[in-house]
A and B are shown apart, each in its own frame.
Chain A
Amino acid sequence: MSEPATNAPLSPRQLFWKRLRARRSAMAGGIILAVLYLMAVLAGFVAPYHYESDDRDRFFHPPILPKFDGLRLVVPRWEQKEGQFKYAPIASDTKPIRLFVQGDKYKLFALIPCQTHLFGTGEKSHPIYLFGTDQYGRDVCSRILYGSQISLSIGLIGITLSFSFGMLNGGISGYFGGRIDTGIMRVCELIMSIPSLYLILALRNTFPSNISSTQAYAMIIVILSFIGWASMARVVRGMALSLRERQFVLAARALGATPWRIITRHILPSTFSYVIVAATLSVPYYILGEVVLSYLAVGIQEPQASWGNMLTAAQNTEHLRNYPWLLAPGAAIFVTVLAFNFLGDGLRDAADTKST
């Protein structure tokens, strides 16, 4: 009689991945984010134009979309009509879209000077403005790609900073208890009790008004992290309070482990499943924080592109009515936030083994 085949039980990690893969929306969110981050890293290459290159003949140009001509994708030439900023395509005059065309100069990874772009026509007479141009004639699609570098990285760096700081404080607070706990928690509550928008603006004003874009970028991260760590610290502190009563913590103490070792090697790793989910669901707030700051003109400055400062054109209702493609950064924000939320929900459901 042959042995029945037995499946070895899955390790917790394998079980988690299996459950995550079963959730379609989470996988979709994850794939979208992977694509967005990849495009952000290669922004100069993927974008057909540089974020500063302005086309003085084509202010407020509507989106130029490619069409199929047989099996090729082609782009028509547009010409100016009477009236201000009115354009129309000439269907007969088309040029094909090619890959790896030469175009504006840029620096790949901010280091390597490069001139090759992923796609384009290669002809100045036939520009390809997938989302049209803005008030200075700059390609909105390219600026969205360059802006994604700022917005997406602020999200990741911001949560890394604030969650590291928050986890550490939460672990220390929960493990030691007593006056240390009280002190740290009161500070957290103080930070959380001030409405975040006002806190952000107040913190912004502690920095000088005219700062370079790199400094603005660092400042935004510092401000958002300063606000963000408090809520993470509170939750981690609660988890630490219960974890420190567990027997493996007592066993570690009985072996002479220092409090630092217990907190960092035993208590905090047990909070990871919560922290990772909370981090994924918090990234949108950092992205939106940057959008708010730049929208209010106290964040990333022109000519640097960020999703926030591109939306300042949305303040003008005339522009919105006549040139709605200027809202494309809003669509980018929407897709990004949705993807993070789907992924975060999926991670949370996959980690919670008590649910299906």
Chain B
Amino acid sequence: MLLDIRNLQLEFGTGRDAVRAVNGVSFTIAEGETLCLVGESGCGKSVSALSIARLVPTPPARYVGGEILLNGRDVLKMDQRELRSIRGGVVSYVFQEPSASLNPVFRVGTKSRNRSSSTARSSPPTTKSSAC
């Protein structure tokens, strides 16, 4: 199983005013599968998806339960270096409004120059804008 999320629970804030944005979400994705998460606005789809690479900033957010198993390893327990190694390689994102993902300072064609200076990827995605 490529991705196995079990009973993920995520809260924003602390104490009595804490909001549980993700309350017991579980799903699996096998290799070659495509999964579509559908829901109304604000139901926690983006936060669940961002949690796969632990991109939700954890000062306001807190993981209070569950595990995210990526190839058998729990993402919620990984250290920063291991997280950076899976980001962009095993897990990558195309965000809403893809043009906002491009840094306006760079020209789009700075592809090869930027790529050569970042860490090598074991399984590079097919297209990766180097303006990020």
Contact = CB atoms under 8 A, between A and B. Distances in A.
Contacts of B97: 247
A9 interface: no
Given A247-B100, A250-B95, A251-B93, A256 B132 contact: no
Interface in B70-123: 83-89, 91-93, 95, 97, 100-106, 114, 118-119
Interface string B43-70: 0000000000101000100000000000
Contact of B119 (A246, A252, A256): A256
A276 to B, nearest CB: 13
Contacts of A266: 103, 105
State which size class the interface on A falls in.
20 to 34
Given A256-B89, A258-B84, A270-B103, A248 B131 contact: yes
A256 B101 contact: no
Given A255-B132, A256-B119, A261-B118, A248 B92 contact: no
Contacts of A265: 114
Nearest to A246: B100
Contacts of B53: 254
Contact of B132 (A177, A252, A269, A272): A252
A254 B53 CA distance: 7
Interface string A230-266: 0000000000000000111011111111100100011
A251 B95 contact: yes
Nearest to B96: A247
A266 B83 CA distance: 20
A129 B20 CA distance: 82
Interface string A164-186: 00000000000001100000000
Chain A interface helix/strand/loop/mixed: helix
Interface of B is mostly: loop
Contacts of B59: 177-178
A247 B132 CA distance: 9
Contacts of A253: 55, 87
A256 B55 contact: no
A257 B80 CA distance: 11
A12 to B, nearest CB: 8
Contacts of A270: 103-105
Contacts of B118: 255-257, 261
A254 B88 CA distance: 6
Contacts of B101: 247-248, 250-251
Given A178-B59, A269-B105, A254 B100 contact: no
Given A247-B97, A247-B100, A248-B132, A254 B92 contact: yes
Contacts of A177: 59
A254 B54 CA distance: 9
Nearest to A269: B105
Which of A248, A258, A272: most chain B CB closer than 10 A? A248
A253 B89 CA distance: 12
A162 to B, nearest CB: 23
Interface in B4-20: none
Contacts of B95: 247, 250-251, 254
Given A177-B59, A254-B87, A256-B89, 16 more contacts: A248-B131, A250-B55, A251-B132, A253-B87, A255-B87, A255-B88, A255-B128, A256-B83, A256-B84, A256-B86, A256-B87, A256-B88, A256-B119, A257-B84, A257-B118, A270-B104
Interface of A: 177-178, 246-248, 250-258, 261, 265-266, 269-270, 272
21 contacts: A246-B100, A247-B100, A248-B101, A248-B102, A248-B103, A251-B93, A252-B103, A253-B55, A254-B53, A254-B55, A254-B87, A254-B88, A255-B87, A255-B118, A256-B84, A256-B85, A256-B89, A256-B118, A256-B119, A257-B132, A266-B105
Interface of B: 53, 55, 59, 83-89, 91-93, 95, 97, 100-106, 114, 118-119, 128, 131-132
Q: Nearest 9 CB-CB pairs, A to B?
A: A256-B87, A255-B88, A251-B101, A256-B88, A247-B100, A251-B132, A256-B84, A248-B103, A269-B105
